[in-house]
Homo-oligomer: A and B are copies of this chain.
C-alpha cells in the first residue's frame, strides 16, 4: 500500500460521519477517490429521495481525500468551499461520489466530483461538485 493510501484510509476511518452515512472509500489512484453508500431510510428527505446534504457530504469528503492523496506527508486538508448542482433526484439502491483533482497548488487544491445513483441496474448522474480544498501542516 502506498503511503498516500494509508494516510487517506486512516483519516477516512476517523470520520465518524462517514460511518453514520454507511460510506466506504476506494482510492482509485493518486488524485482520484470514490466514496459510496447503500440506500438507507435514515438518509432521506421528504419525498424519500436521499437528502442533497448526504450526497454533498460524500462529494465533499471525496474531494477532500482526492486532495489529501496529493498533499505532502505531514499535511492535512480542510474544505474551503464547495458548490454542488443537483442534477436528478437521488433515487436508487446505491450512491457514489467520484472526485478528481483538477488543479493542485501548494496551498489550494481544486477538485471536481460527480455523484451517481444505481437503480435497477441503471447508473445515472445525480449531482456534480466543484470544491476548493486547503492544504495545512498537521497541528500537533
> Which of A's residues lie within 8 Å of B, judged by CB?
11-12, 14-20, 41-47, 50-54, 56-58, 60-61, 76, 78-89, 102-103, 107-108, 110, 112, 125, 128, 130, 132, 134
Contact = CB atoms under 8 A, between A and B. Distances in A.
Contacts of A51: 15, 17-18, 57, 60-61
A137 B10 CA distance: 35
B76 A86 contact: no
Q: Is the interface of A mostly helix, strand, loop or mixed?
A: mixed
A96 to B, nearest CB: 15
A46 B11 contact: yes
Contacts of A132: 80-81, 85, 132
Contact of A15 (B44, B82, B86): B44
B60 A87 contact: no
